[in-house]
Structure formats: C-alpha cells, structure tokens
Structure 1
Amino acid sequence: MPETLFTPNKAGLRIAMVAGEASGDLLGAHLIDALRQHCPDAEFAGIGGPRMLARGFRTQVPQEKLAVRGYLEVLRSLPELLRIRGRLREALLAERPDVFIGIDAPDFNLGLEAALKKQGIPTVHYVSPSVWAWRPERVGRIGRSVSHMLCLFPMEPPLYRQAGVPVTFVGHPLASEIPMQPDKRAMRERLALPQSSPVFALLPGSRQSELDYMGPLYIETAKRLLAAHPDAQFLVPLATRATMDQFDRLLVKHKGWELPIRKLFGHAQMAMIASDVVLVTSGTATLEVALCKRPMVISYKLSALTYHLVKRKIRLPYVGLPNILCGRQVVPELLQHDATPERLAAEMLRIYEDKGYQAEVEATFTTLHASLQADSANLAAQAILGVVG
C-alpha cells in the first residue's frame, strides 16, 4: 500500500476511482484516457486493474481482492473487504480528492460513496446497478450515495430521474471500441487458426471464484465438443495471471491438459471474433460477445444457497445482457442445474450446425450494437467534470 494515494502539493485534479473487476478496469482505462484529454495533469488513484495501472493509476491493493461473487463467498471475504474499504475511506478523507468515481462493484462502492459524499467529496457512480432487473428499491439509497449516476443502457436514466437522482446516459464504450463488422477470417489469420475447422471460445469468467465453478464445467464441455469435432480448436482468454495459473491447475485436475486449448492473456475480443460459437459466463462478457456478433451459450453456476436467494429477487425472465436488452431470448441460457457438460455441448453443437440461426443472431446483435453507440468515455468525462465544477 502506498503511503499516500496522490502526490502531495501537486497541481492538477486528483481523481479517486475504484474498479472491482476486469470489466470495470476496461471502463476505468477508457475514462482515464478521456479525462486526460481535458485535464492532462490529473492524477488517478484508488483500486484498479492492469489496464488502469498501465495509464499511471496508483492502486492501494490488487484489484483481484474485490473480485468476489455470491453471498457465501462474500461472507467469507467480508472481513478483508471491510478492512480494505475502511483503509481506503480513511486515505480518501485525509487526502480529499476532487471527485470519487465508483466503477460498478456497487456492494463495495456505494457504501464508500455515501461516506465520502457526507463529508463533502463529490461522488460519481459509473454503471448503474441492475435496478431494472432486481431490487428496484435501491434507487433511493443510491441517490443518497452519489452526486451523479452514469448509465450505460437507455432504459436506466428514467428510473433515476423519477427518483430525483442526477443522471447521464453515456452509452456503452464497448459499442464504440468493437467494429460493427468484425472480421473472423482476418482474426483467424492473425491467431494462426485454421479457417475451416470449428473454433469455440470458452470464457469461464474474470474472477477466481467464478473459475472454481465454471472452469471444470467448461473443460468437460470442451471434451464433448472435441469428441464431436476432432479438429476443433478452443480459445480461453483469461484476465489476470492469477486466473491463468488457476485455469492451468484445473486443466491438470480435470485431465484436460491434452485438449487443443490456446490460453490468451486478455485479448477476449480476439477470441470472440475468431470463434464460431462462444460459451460464456453471465456478466459483461456476454454483451462483448454480442457486440462481436457471435452466437453464444450463456451459463452460470452459484452455490445452492446463493442461487436460491438471487433467483427469488430477479424480476426478469433472463440473466444474460443480450437477451435482456433485446427483450427476448436471442441466445440460450443454461443456469445452475441445467448447466451440465452434456447440455452445454449439445447447444454449442446445435448452434454451430445452424447457419441460418447464426445469421439471424448476427443481424439482431448489429441492431443492438447501433443502439448502444455513443462517445461514451468523453460523455462520462464531461459529466464528471461538471460534477467537479
């Protein structure tokens, strides 16, 4: 932990940020770039990941410390998470940045934002919690914690305006980053992959706790896909060194070491674009696959207790962002007890064989892509600077 987050007595804005996982790290990196366009001397510190660190961000603890999912898993990690938040809160109150930006991670960030706002530090939350899907009563509490909300999806701002919470729709930065027509052939050439063989991307999640559940499931699914297509290739992008090492251990444990798997350090979009079908853990990555115009099977597994508690609170019939945003089931979702290697492999093979369905998915996701395009990072930067004044 650095003695101070920011350089003492240095001119320029001091901007504190917390990004809790890989998707937040990507948003944070784009935001740092956009803010530096307006404020070249700005300093950035808090908790962030490798993309933010590459831009000079100072992190108090490794981002992986916050990447915990599920009620039971969070309970086990709660003492350490509370210590981290308490130390960061003390540091921020002592150094008083010009603004604090919580990037997603609402369970960690909203409480921190409330404490900072109470002490006169402006707070911005970037990525609305899924209040349209579950626990809508959170909007009022969120409004007491944040000075401004930045929303990625067009159905979110009316919920906040109705509650009197200042809000800006900024679109999704991935919609500007990912080309409207990704080139699968060119990407396969770049990755030295055969053009005619089936290529499946497996995205088991960016968190170590997700890999515990999804890694073995995806390895067993790959075995069945290979049995059906002996020339199949598998791409597995992993966000951090820790998750890459963890996946290696899972390959050994589950006798998947001889599978034709190529692990990529990051480069998830490259894997998506090069693939025929993607098997993806529910989360932001599902939207990334949709913007790459690839068909997918969405899956997720939790502890039995966590799944029971979460299922009771969800208000929508889908969990995958592409299905939620399209308002219908465009791609299959196999969750919890339905998430078996046999069923996942069967859906992947069905999609691979159905070229008409693939074309329909591509057209649907092209329309979705257009609806989310905006100069997201710059819009977010302008809203943040407006809060700073």
Structure 2
Amino acid sequence: MRIAIVAGEESGDILGADLVSALERQSGRKVELVGVGGRNLQALGLKSLFRSEEIALMGVSAIIRDLPRLLRRIRQTASAIVEARPECLITIDSPEFALRVARRVHEARPDLPIVHYVCPSVWAWRPGRAAQMKPYVDHILCLLPFEPKVLRELDGPAGTYVGHRLNADSNLLAAAHEQLARPPKVHSARKNLLVLPGSRRGEVTKLLKPFGQTVKQLADRGHEFELLLPTVPHVEKLVEQGTRDWVVAPRIILDEQEKWRAFAQADAALACSGTVALELALARIPFASCYKTDPLARMLISMITVWSASLPNLIAGWPVVPEFFDDFVRPEYLARLTEQLWEDTPTRQAQREGFAQVAAALSTPEPSGELAAKAVLNLLSR
C-alpha cells in the first residue's frame, strides 16, 4: 500500500508513525511511504524529500520570512506525491504547509483520498478555514472530543474523534503511576524540575532566557534542585548554548526512555505551550505553561476567540494550568508558582484533580492509532 504522508512537527511525526504501523497491522499489507517526515517515519522506511524541521515553523513572522522557500517546498512536495501515484495522502498537523500541499495534489488528482490528521484549531480562530478545507480534504482525524461537532457546525469536512495516542502510551502511563504513588516532597527536600522549552528553534530561543532566570530565582531563594531538560536532536546545540550560563546546569536528555524516567521523577515543570502540556497533564506533573509570540502574531491576537491555549484546560473545561504569554513570562512570578507546584499545596492538588478529568475525557475504546487506521481504511474502501 503506497501512502503519501506530510509531517513537519516532531509530534506529528510520532502520530504518523503510529498510524502507519496500525495500517500495516489492520490491512495485512506493507505500507510504502513517500513524502516528508522525521525520524519516526523514516524508521518505517520513508525517504523524506527534505528535512521535516524546515516546515516546523511557528509564528507569522517565521512563515513570512521563509515564504519563498516554503512555496518552493510546497510545489516540490505536491509534485513528488502526484508522480508517486499513492493510494491516499495523509497530511499531519502543520496546516499552513500541509493543507497547501493537499490542495495542489487535489487539483492534479481529484480522485485521490486526502486525510488530514489533527484538526486545525478552527474553534480558536479563523473558523472559515473549516469550510475552505471541505472541497479538497475528505476526512479529518480529530484529537479532541469536541472537534467533529465543531466541524459539522462550521460546514467543514467530516471528522472522526480518534483520541490522543498519549492517553494509551505505556511509558507515560508508567510515569503517571509512579507520580501518583510517590508522596510530595517536604519543603527542605531536593526537588527535580523539568524544563521543556519546546521543539522548534523559535520557541527554544525565546524561552531559554526567562526559564534560566527562573532557575536563578529559585536558587537565590534557597532551593536545591536538579534540572531535567528533555529535548530533540535538531535543537540540541541551541539548548546547550542557551543553558551554558545557568546557575544550575541542566541534565540535557535526548534518549526517549530517559525522558520518561525524568517524567516519573519530576516534582514540577516549566513548559512551552503545546503538545507537551498534554504529556505533563497525563503524567500528573504540575506545571506552568509559557509562550512568547512574535511581533506580527501579537497584532492578530484579537482574532483569537478561544478562552485558553492549553490543551488540558480546553479538555477539562476549566483553567487547570496557569498560562503566561509574552511580557507575562516573568521569572519572579514563575519561581514563586513553582514553589507552590512542587510541594503539597492546594495549587498542586487542584492541578492533579484537573489532570484526572483530562485523562477521563480522552479515554477511547482502542488506542488512537488503531482508530485512526480504521477511519483511513474505511475511506479507502469506498
């Protein structure tokens, strides 16, 4: 079965690998891949047309700055997919790039089934995108329970709720089990603080400085702690350079199993807003969510209609996790909040209760990859 796939983000690459493995199991056929993806899809045989990080851009400024190159990559990707004559095209997240590829492929091959995995946040801003996708996207695989209903209301493509792969991840479940079994540490005990500045270069660049200043504040306030900093290979050097002068040197983690051990040991976390927020919530690790937008994005904030940017908050329906943006990413505040999160306080307990609600809401009868594969095969059978 030849499948075309486009995945830019690390999280999308993992979703794609999950889906492809499930497609092989359910169909009994070997899947041959063509398109763009990262290390997880490449491990399944994909020879990526180019490095997937090239399309993992966040922020209006980054997209405008790289627009000529992005347009060239869109044309290149669409042409390669049309030439390969796959049975299906699956685009994963990265909507500004992936959906443009999908539209070009549809123009050349209107008979080719097209699936988009991870519903664009039409419920948060630019709701008109839902109807705009309908002519060239046949089906959307949704991670959040409320998204299929939103797509119907906005006259978008049909959607299937498949849940999130994290809710059935054995490593994450083991980390959550250890977290819940371990009593919170007393005030004087040495703590473990997770620092997660993101997987995109722009995110890492913007957040390492305030996170480093928060670490200094905590040290100045008399705390002893270890810093655990899981990251991904393509920003490893950037992380090493950005943390070189921190008063407490972080242990930089690249190995996946070591990352989950760090999650099991963590007392609290400072994190970039994104998929990792859901990982932390399901692992039951209290945290603060931070993000710094670029100047152009700040001008568009009035277009955002959703009440929260954090997935745990949207799923639970109330502000489980505190969020800090731009000038409100203040180290003095974050340090004091971290003190409340890593000890036995009402703040910590409230987050833990919210995380339990998130896990319950994301529960599905089967793992998300299996449900996603069933939806894809159902579409192909038609």
Scaled by the length of structure 2, the TM-score of the pair is 0.90
* C-alpha distance in 1 between matches for 2:127 and 2:180: 44
Q: 1:307 to 1:271 in 2, by over 3 A?
A: farther
* C-alpha distance in 1 between matches for 2:179 and 2:355: 16
Greater mean deviation of Cα atoms: 214-223 or 85-94: 214-223
Pick the aligned partner of 2:290 from 271, 292, 299.
299
Offset at residue 384 of structure 1 (A): 0.8
Partner of 1:22: 10
Matched, 1:387 2:382: no
Residues paired across the two proteins, number: 365
2:243 partner SS: helix
Pick the aligned partner of 1:182 from 177, 181, 194.
177
Partner of 2:20: 32
Structure 2 residue identity aligned to 1:386: N
Q: How does 1:161-310 map to 2 (within 5 A)?
A: 161-162=152-153, 163=155, 165-177=157-169, 178-179=172-173, 181-184=176-179, 196-240=189-233, 242-252=234-244, 255-256=245-246, 259-265=248-254, 267=256, 268-309=259-300
Offset at residue 117 of structure 1 (A): 2.4
Q: How does 1:280-359 map to 2 (within 5 A)?
A: 280-309=271-300, 311-359=301-349
Partner of 1:142: 133
Q: 1:151 to 1:322 in 2, by over 3 A?
A: same
Structure 1 residue identity aligned to 2:173: P
Percent sequence identity is 33
Structure 2 residue identity aligned to 1:89: A
Q: Would the aligned equivalents of 1:153 and 1:172 in 2 still touch at CA under 8 Å?
A: yes
Offset at residue 182 of structure 1 (A): 2.7
Matched, 1:72 2:61: yes
2:173 partner SS: coil
2:198 partner SS: coil
Q: Would the aligned equivalents of 2:197 and 2:272 in 1 still touch at CA under 8 Å?
A: yes
Partner of 1:363: 353
* Unpaired stretches in structure 2, ≥5 consecutive residues: 183-187
* C-alpha distance in 1 between matches for 2:236 and 2:94: 22
* C-alpha distance in 2 between matches for 1:27 and 1:196: 38
Offset at residue 222 of structure 1 (A): 1.5
Matched, 1:376 2:365: no
**1:18-61 C-alpha deviation (Å, 9 max, x unpaired):** 11111111111211211111243211221111122222222111
Matched, 1:87 2:87: no
Structure 2 residue identity aligned to 1:40: R
* Unpaired stretches in structure 1, ≥5 consecutive residues: 1-12, 188-194
1:17 partner SS: strand
* C-alpha distance in 1 between matches for 2:308 and 2:18: 29
Offset at residue 134 of structure 1 (A): 1.3
* C-alpha distance in 2 between matches for 1:115 and 1:126: 18
Q: Would the aligned equivalents of 1:149 and 1:167 in 2 still touch at CA under 8 Å?
A: yes
Scaled by the length of structure 1, the TM-score of the pair is 0.89
Matched, 1:152 2:143: yes
**1:205-255 C-alpha deviation (Å, 9 max, x unpaired):** 000111111122212211222223442011111122x31111111123xx2
Q: Would the aligned equivalents of 2:315 and 2:361 in 1 still touch at CA under 8 Å?
A: no
Offset at residue 358 of structure 1 (A): 2.0
Offset at residue 171 of structure 1 (A): 0.8
Offset at residue 307 of structure 1 (A): 1.8
Structure 2 residue identity aligned to 1:165: P
Q: 1:97 to 1:298 in 2, by over 3 A?
A: same
* C-alpha distance in 2 between matches for 1:340 and 1:360: 22
Q: 1:58 to 1:186 in 2, by over 3 A?
A: farther
Q: Would the aligned equivalents of 2:189 and 2:224 in 1 still touch at CA under 8 Å?
A: no
Calculate the aligned-residue CA RMSD, in Å.
Answer: 2.0
* C-alpha distance in 2 between matches for 1:40 and 1:54: 17
Q: 1:76 to 1:320 in 2, by over 3 A?
A: same
Q: Would the aligned equivalents of 2:192 and 2:266 in 1 still touch at CA under 8 Å?
A: yes
Partner of 2:185: none
Q: Would the aligned equivalents of 2:316 and 2:357 in 1 still touch at CA under 8 Å?
A: no
**1:314-352 C-alpha deviation (Å, 9 max, x unpaired):** 112211111122221112111111012222212112222
